Amino acid sequence: MLFPEKQDLEIGQHYAPEIEKELGGKIEDEDLQKYIDRVGQKIARISHRPDWEYHYVAVNDKSINASALPGGYIFITKGMLEKLQSEAQLAAILAHETAHVVARDTSNAISNQIGIGLLLAAATSGQASGAVMTAAELSRRIIGLRYSRQDEREADIAGLDYMIVAGYNPYGIIETMQMLEEQRKETVVEFLSSHPPPANRIAYLSQRIKTKIHDLDGLNIGKQQYSKTVLDRLITRD
């Protein structure tokens, strides 16, 4: 059973700091964080739930991943940021995760795969009683949540539509899927262990782009901006 919407925020607020910690902590770079959040907010404001509060945070984890918490908390890893090449590609990932939040897929998955009772008990007592599970263990389970194929497809489609309305070149999502597919040949891609394989997603996304967009002129790619604000800064930090 799905829990009430107001509990989304409670869970989000409680577990966001834990998940942040679990993912290596926030990247200590205010300009980079502001940029990620600015791109995320552009998406959030034109989403189906523009009234909610959203937080987009870049974390130090080296895995190639992004994940969402109920209540509008969205995390993207350093490993993912390093593989992206433009603002449109960043927007693609953030839009997909935002779509999961909007559809309350995360809330649903928590209900089914963890159990809201356990989560709230842990949130209020600091630790789950009985079958003791620490906040860190629960956070790992939240990061590892799986969505159904149908949820993924809907998040892909909604995310694509959000990108377009927010003014981004929608091929950013296709390029990102291709990158993930390439990466998968060499390494474990965390983002894909919780998502369907890219090939068929590329097919339905390309199809939708062709029916929705006839003129790509004026749509933002933001390659230079992304290099300057994300890639260059990550390299300097290493």
**Minimum distance, C-beta of residue 151 to Zn ion, in the bound complex (Å):** 7
Closest CA relative to residue 96, chosen from 14, 56, 156: 156
What residues have CB less than 8 Å from 30, skipping those under 6 apart?
none
Which pair of structure tokens corresponds to residue 214? 């006839």
Q: Which is nearer to Zn ion, 114 or 192 (CB)?
A: 192
- Between residues 36 and 74, which has the closer beta carbon with respect to Zn ion? 74
- Phi, psi of 14, deg, nearest 5: -75, -45
What is the closest distance, in whole angstroms, from the C-beta atom of residue 117 to Zn ion in the complex? Answer: 25
Give whichever of 74 and 155 is closer to Zn ion, judged by the CB atom.
155
Helices (H) and strands (E) in the chain, counts: 13, 3
Q: Which of 97, 152, 175, 190 is catalytic?
A: 97
Rounded to the nearest 10 degrees, what angle do helices 171-184 and 87-102 cross at? 90
Min separation Cβ 195 and Zn ion, Å: 5
Pick the closest to residue 173 from 94, 105, 73, 67 (CA basis).
94
Q: Which of residues 30-69 bind Zn ion (CB under 5 A)?
A: none
Contact between 201 and 156 (Cβ < 8 Å): yes
Instruction: Tell me whether residue 97 is one of the annotated catalytic residues.
Output: yes
Residue 217: how many CB atoms within 10 A of its CB?
A: 5
**Is the CB of 75 or the CB of 135 nearer to Zn ion?**
75
Nearest distance, CB of residue 68 and Zn ion, angstroms:
8
For β-strands 55-59 and 73-77, DSSP reports them as: parallel
Site string for Zn ion, 128-167 (x = CB under 5 A): ------------------------x--x------------
Contact residues: Zn ion, CB under 5 A: 152, 155
Q: What residues are annotated to the active site?
A: 97
